Amino acid sequence: MENMIRYFDRVKADEELKEKTKNYIKESIAANRGENIGNQYRSKRRQTTLRRLSAAVVPAAACISLIIGGYALYKTSVNYVSYDINPSLELGINFFGKVVEAESFNADGEGLLEESRIMNHSAVEAVEVLTLRADEKGYIKDDGSTVIAVTAESQKTKTAEQLKEKMGNSIQVLLNEKHLNAVVYTDSSNLQIRTEARQYGLSPGKYKLMLALHALEPDINLEQYKEARITDILLKADELLKQKQISPSEDAEWNFNLIRSTAEKINLRHQENERNTNQNEIQSVSPASIEPEQEQEQNQTRYLSPKADSSDRSQTQNENRNEISSSPAIEQEQTTVQNQNQNAGADQADAEQDQTQNQEQGQGQEQNSDTGSDSSGSGQSSQNQKQSDSGQDNSSAGNKKPNNN
Amino acid sequence: MNSNTISAEEMVMTAIDKYADMVRRICFLHLGNRSDIEDVFQEVFIQYYLNADIFQNEQHEKAWICRVTFNKCKDMNKSFWRKRIVTLDENLEIAYETEEESDLITALLRLPDKEKDVIYLHYYEGWTVPEVAEILHQNANTVYSRLRRAREKLKIKEEVI
């Protein structure tokens, strides 16, 4: 132990250390003379602890805010997709293209949503799942008249268009894969329409169609279309379009072009369906197999130059092969009328219908009843009845036509 | 207030002269860095200045300084910064006179802090075990066992003594 004591005895504070300490004490006393040095000292300590704390807290806060910010970004819908058959839904799509919000606008939509797991899936997947679900629940009818309306909504027109394309294509592919028979109607709109639609408790897709209806017919009772299927709205719009003689390109805002072509598709499907059930023996080229756009074009060109429409003619000729035509001109008119009958609503009440065709109507009806089988008699005649009604409408309309030209 | 401050200042100055060696020795046990020792000195005596009026007697004063110095050294060693860096310890040891001395001191410095403290307080400063216990805020028996443990570790050297 003496060793240690001896050694420790030699451990001494040198003068320099003592001086330094004394100076420091003097300085700090002088610096804080008149003040409570204790508080000063303690507050300095608190400052250092604060600094130490903040060294830990600031990065932690940054991390947390990043996480929260990221989550908020993820959870915020940027674009919306409105999905209507009769179930009306709206999906909120976030920045990353995932579904983060889903809202239904009617009871059907709610049921559809409840049974579909679409949250956090990509928008395309979600729409596909919804379509399959809708089919299971029977919203997509076998006759193919069902319209699936997909409306993309975005602040930017370009984004909305892209989204619309993507949705439309994926549904179309899905329908083809599953052999589902439905018409896809795609549209895009801006977020303003969405806000307006919200006030009426409608999905934006439906709301936009109803606005189009309203634009066509200001007196229309929109209430009754609130719960209507998209199909019915489209057909109504198409009917109005024909009545009002508005050329599809006239008003780009409401996409009349699109409405018309979709309605024509529906009618085609109707027609096809009826023909399939009623006229099984006739093996003709199905009109539905013709490209819709092409079909539309044909409809338009037919009235301008009937002779150019050879494919349609051959087809109808095929059906009318039993008939003996007196002259090529008459035959032409006959086939047009025949074609009209087959294509039901699409062609029958077309606004640009020729007046001569109206005159030929009676003849066409006779021919039709000749060719139609017994079982289909009632359906056909009612159809013809409808046709003649609209034909009369058109005859007055047709009279005006030359003046316009 | 003014006279009080001056008297406290004078007290600090005398205390520095009086206790600097002891503080230095405790620092020697715990710290290996000149600047750290300076820091401890400053902090200890600032504390002394702030509490200059609480001392009942010299013994109490000395025990108090011991205790504060131990705490300051511990604070120094447990600081976040110190735990993560390796300081270049200056060669602060006073030259050893004999081989045994060198061995003993090296062994002593390797002891855990708790055992170093009791050895120092008991053998060098000459406090009795209950007094040491009071300074360290420990049970007397704890101090006994720490002393025993420390002695066992230093045993070989003790025989030399």
Q: How far apart, in whole angstroms, are the C-alpha atoms of residue B5 and residue B22? A: 25
A185, A146 Cβ separation under 8 angstroms: no
| Stronger pLDDT, A290 or B34, i.e. the higher one | B34
Residue-wise over A57-89: b if at least 16 C-beta within 10 A, else e? eeeeeeeeeeeeeeeeeeeebbbbbbbbbbbbb
In angstroms, the Cα distances linking A160 to A93, A105, A157, A189 are 11, 21, 5, 7
Are B16 and A26 in contact (CB < 8 Å)?
no
What is the amino acid identity at position B124?
Y
Half-sphere exposure (Cβ direction) of A380: Cα atoms closer than 13 Å: 22
Which residue of A7, A29, A33 is in closest CB contact with B101?
A7
Instruction: Say whether pLDDT at B47 is over 90.
Output: no
Which residue of A6, A21, A37 is in closest CB contact with B45?
A21
Half-sphere exposure (Cβ direction) of A11: Cα atoms closer than 13 Å: 21
Q: Which pLDDT score, from 0 to 100, does residue A361 have? A: 47
Q: What is the pLDDT along chain A (405 residues), one digit of tens a residue?
A: 667 777 777 777 778 888 888 888 888 877 776 455 555 455 556 667 777 788 888 889 999 999 999 988 888 888 888 888 888 888 999 888 889 988 888 888 888 888 888 888 888 888 888 888 888 888 888 777 788 888 888 888 888 888 888 888 888 888 888 888 888 888 888 888 888 888 888 888 888 888 888 887 777 777 777 778 888 888 888 888 777 766 655 555 666 777 777 777 777 777 777 776 666 555 444 444 444 444 444 444 444 444 444 444 444 444 444 444 444 444 444 444 444 444 444 444 444 444 444 444 444 444 444 444 444 444 444 444 444 444 444 444 444 444 444
Q: Which pLDDT score, from 0 to 100, does residue A390 have? A: 45
3-state secondary structure of A184: strand
Distance from CA of A13 to the nearest CA of B (A): 5
Count contacts between A and B (CB, < 8 Å): 88
A90 beta partners: A82, A103
Give B-chain residues touching A52 at CB under 8 angstroms.
Answer: 80
Residue of B23, B34, B95 whose CA lies nearest to A10 = B95
Helix A123-136 and helix A107-115: axis angle, to 10°? 110
Give B-chain residues touching A10 at CB under 8 angstroms.
Answer: 94
Give A-chain residues touching B100 at CB under 8 angstroms.
Answer: 3
Q: How far apart, in whole angstroms, are the C-alpha atoms of residue A157 and residue A316? A: 43
Beta carbons within 8 Å of A350's beta carbon, 6+ residues apart: A242, A299, A303, A394
pTM value surpassing 0.80:
no
A150, A83 Cβ separation under 8 angstroms: yes
| Stronger pLDDT, A360 or B100, i.e. the higher one | B100
B42 inside 8 A of chain A by CB: yes
Instruction: Dump pLDDT digits (tens) for B71-94.
Output: 888 888 877 666 666 655 555 566
| Stronger pLDDT, A235 or B67, i.e. the higher one | B67
Distance from CA of A33 to the nearest CA of B (A): 8
User: Rounded to the nearest 10 degrees, how much is the dihedral formed by the CA atoms of A310, A344, A238, A221?
Assistant: 170
**Mutate: best of A2, A5, A6, A8, partner B, most B CBs <10 A:** A8
B28 inside 8 A of chain A by CB: yes
Tell me the residues of chain A between 20 and 79 that have a Cβ less than 8 Å away from chain B.
20-22, 24-26, 28-29, 33, 37-38, 41, 52
Which residue of B21, B42, B96 is in closest CB contact with A13?
B21
What is the amino acid identity at position A149?
A
Instruction: Dump pLDDT digits (tens) for A189-239.
Output: 888 888 888 888 888 888 888 888 888 777 777 777 777 888 888 888 888
Task: Tell me the pairing of strands A88-94 and A99-104.
Answer: antiparallel
Tell me the residues of chain A between 269 and 328 that have a Cβ less than 8 Å away from chain B.
none
Measured at the CA of A69, the angle between CA A68 and CA A73, to 5 degrees, comes to: 115
Q: Quickly state the pLDDT bin for B19 (edges 50, 70, 90).
A: confident
Beta carbons within 8 Å of B72's beta carbon, 6+ residues apart: B40, B43, B44
